Structures are given as structure tokens and as C-alpha cells.
Amino acid sequence: MSADLQVVMIALGCSAAAALTGGPLLRLLRTRPLWATAAVLCVVPILAVAAGVAGTARAMFLSHHDLRVVMIVVGVSAVVATLAAIRLGRPVVAATGALTRAADTLGDTSYQRARRVPTGELAGLARTLDATHVRLVEARDRERALEASRRELVAWISHDLRTPLAGIRATAEALTDGLVTDEETTARYHRQMLADAERLTGMVDDLFELARLQAGALELTLEKVCLADIVSDAVAVVDPIARARRVTVTGSTADTVYVDADAAQVSRALINLLVNAIRHTPDDGTVEVQVERGDRATPSEGAPAAAGPAGERAIVAVADRCGGIPAEDLPRLFDLGFRGEAARTPGDGGDHPHQPRVRSGIGLAIVRGIVEAHGGDVSVQNQHGGCRFVVALPAA
């Protein structure tokens, strides 16, 4: 065996024996701060070098003086390297501490972003934590808003259910106790009970429909239909309500617009909008309905993709004469259970309160759910003398 190969084998054996001590040391220090691990990672290789040099020097029968000089150099180098590793590793230690504190406060108002992260991996982790914090805050805000709307809905629906229930109970007790004997009054009581029962049925149907929308269980039967025909049918349905309030519903169609939609569901959404507009328009007022084409808006998340030509959408606009909606209420108008404040009589200069601007806490939420399920969007803005609801659906 040559002398060089002997040196290699001796150095390899001594260095390997020293290097193998690193594994147990790292296991012992796995719960210690990062700087301790960095020190071990620095010292163990130096010890391996020192062991290899010392073993080789003894085997080669170096003088004690020469061996002592070599070991002093190795020892000083080891101390300097360890101190340098600890000092240079401080930014990494500080970054990991900042990341730990950030992880502990994810979603809280006390969350602070980790800054000046020195390595790419830690910087990526910091960006991930920041993005996670934003998502958690948004999810918490959505949950709080949903919980608030649910409380409003429960309070609203429990209040409105009492009226027809009380009416049914009162008329039933009157009939049972024999307080009403003439046929005309008895027939009127029966009609009143039937009307209250139908009102309760409508409210329960709305709640059921809303539950389906929120659960994503609404099944659409899509077909190519003329939007003007759907609007015409919806206007015909609400015509008795409009006549009873002496409200005129007018419509105009710029051109024929087709959509891929569930005609029954879209009709329900439009009926809700029209009934809402009629109820909040003063007697002898006018509700205007327009059908036209427009540029396509971005579809709602989770909604089916549009099938029509790019850049086109079908628009239905319903304008009433309600007197306007407070600007702060506009963003919440389609929220579940939201009820607006009192509006003003159109044209009175805002001096006398008109009927409460109670946009249905269920009806408009159903409108938004149905429209978004079709890949469209619904919006509202104030205009002269009232407000204008705009439903936009992808054109076929």
C-alpha cells in the first residue's frame, strides 16, 4: 500500500469517527435554540478535520513540536469558526423567532409581519404566513358578518311570523267560541285565515329556497330562452299587485337577448325584484323595466362559465320611485336579513318620512343567489327619484 493511500485511510477513519458524533449531538439539541444547532454544525466538521490531522500526524511520526503547532492552529480556527457561525447565524435565529411569533398570532390584531428574512426558504415561509393571516382575517370577518345577518334574519322572521300566526289564532278562536254567527263575517274570517296561511307558506318557501342556495343544492335546468319573454311573464305575475297599488309597470326591450338559464329561477328572481319595487313605489307611481345588452362582468366565484360570445351579457334593469336608499345601506342591501332605514317620500325634499325602506331580508338575498348561480351579478344604485336594480346574465 502506498504512503498516500495510508494517509487517506488514516485521515478518513479519524475524521469519520469525529463526524459521527454530530448525529447524537443534534438529537440532544433538537429542542434548543437554532444557534446551538448552528454551532454544532460548525464545530463538528472542524473536529473531524482536527481528528484527521492529529491521527495522520501521529501515524507519520511528526515531532511533538510540529504536532503541537498544528493542533494550536486547528484549535484557534475552530474557535474563530464557531464564533463566526454564531454571529452570522443571528439574523437566521431572529428571523425564525419572528416567524414563530407571527405563527402564534395568526388571525389576531397583534399579528406582525416578519421582516428582513435572510434566506429564500424563510422568506417564502414568511409570505405564506402573511397570506394565511389575510385569509384567516377575511374568513373571520365573513363569519362574523354571516352570524350578524343570521341574527338579524332570526329577529326579522320571528317578528313577521307573529303577525299572520296571531291573525290565524284570533280568527280561529272567534269562530270556535261562536263569537261570529253571520255568514258574511264568517266568510271574511275564513278568507283572512287563508290569506295569512298563504303568507306563512310564502315565507317558508323563501326560507327553504334560501337554504338551498346557501348549501349549493340549487339544481338549474339550463335552456336557451329569450330574456324578454321571462320579463314579460314576470310582469304579468305581478300585475295584480301593481293594480292594487295603482302602480304602473312599463317595459322596453332594445333588442332580442337570449340567455342560457333556468327560466323558472330567473323568473322568480325578477318577480322578487318587481314586487320589491312595487311595494316601495308610492301609489300612482311607475316601475320601469328595461332589457338590453351590455359588456360582460366577471362571473361570481363558483358560478358556471358563460356560454355566450365573449364580452356580451344580458341586462335587466328595474327602476322604482322609492325616494332612494341611504348610501351606507347600498353595499348591504342583498345581505341576508338586512333591513334598511326609513326613506323619504319622492319629491318631498326629504322633510317627511315615507314608509320604511324595508328591502326583504330574504327576497333580495334569493335574487342574488339565483343570479350568481347563473354566473351573473346584481347591483343597485340610486337615481333621480328612486333606485335602479341591475341584473346581468351571460348572453347565450
* Residues 275-293 pLDDT 10s: 989 988 998 899 999 998 8
Tell whether the model's pLDDT for residue 306 goes beyond 50: no
Vertex 12, ends 20 and 42: CA angle to 5°?
50
Does the residue 81 lie in any domain? yes
Query: Which cell numbers hold the place of 265?
Result: 329561477
Q: 95 and 122 in contact (C-beta within 8 Å)?
A: yes
Which of 192, 214, 236 marks a domain boundary? 214
Q: Decide the pairing of beta strands 353-356 and 248-253.
A: unpaired
Let me know whether 298 and 353 are in one domain. Answer: yes
261 Cβ neighbours under 8 A, 6+ residues apart? 220, 222, 223, 225, 230, 374, 393
Which of 172, 193, 214 marks a domain boundary? 214
Let me know whether 236 and 201 are in one domain. Answer: no
Query: Any idea what the CATH number is for the domain that residue 354 is in?
Result: 3.30.565.10
For the chain, the domain total comes to 3
Report residue 329's pLDDT band, with 50, 70 and 90 as the boundaries. confident
The backbone region for 224, taken as left when phi is positive above 0, alpha when psi lies in -120 to 50, beta otherwise, is beta
Q: H or E segment at 319?
A: strand 313-319
Does the residue 136 lie in any domain? no
Residue type, position 98, single letter: A
Its pTM stands at 0.55
Does the residue 46 lie in any domain? yes
Which of 214, 234, 258 marks a domain boundary? 214
Let me know whether 206 and 272 are in one domain. Answer: no
Let me know whether 255 and 325 are in one domain. Answer: yes
Who has greater pLDDT, 245 or 95? 245
Report residue 388's pLDDT band, with 50, 70 and 90 as the boundaries. very high
pLDDT number for residue 94 = 75
The backbone region for 213, taken as left when phi is positive above 0, alpha when psi lies in -120 to 50, beta otherwise, is alpha
84 Cβ neighbours under 8 A, 6+ residues apart? 42
Q: Which domain holds residue 250?
A: 223-394
Reported as a single tens digit per residue, the pLDDT across 365-381 is 888 888 988 899 999 99
Let me know whether 163 and 257 are in one domain. Answer: no
Distance in angstroms (rounded) separating the CA atoms of residues 129 and 138: 14
Burial of 249: CB neighbours in 10 Å, binned 0-12, 13-18, 19+: buried
Let me know whether 302 and 191 are in one domain. Answer: no
Query: Which cell numbers hold the place of 73?
Result: 492552529
Distance in angstroms (rounded) separating the CA atoms of residues 249 and 1: 108
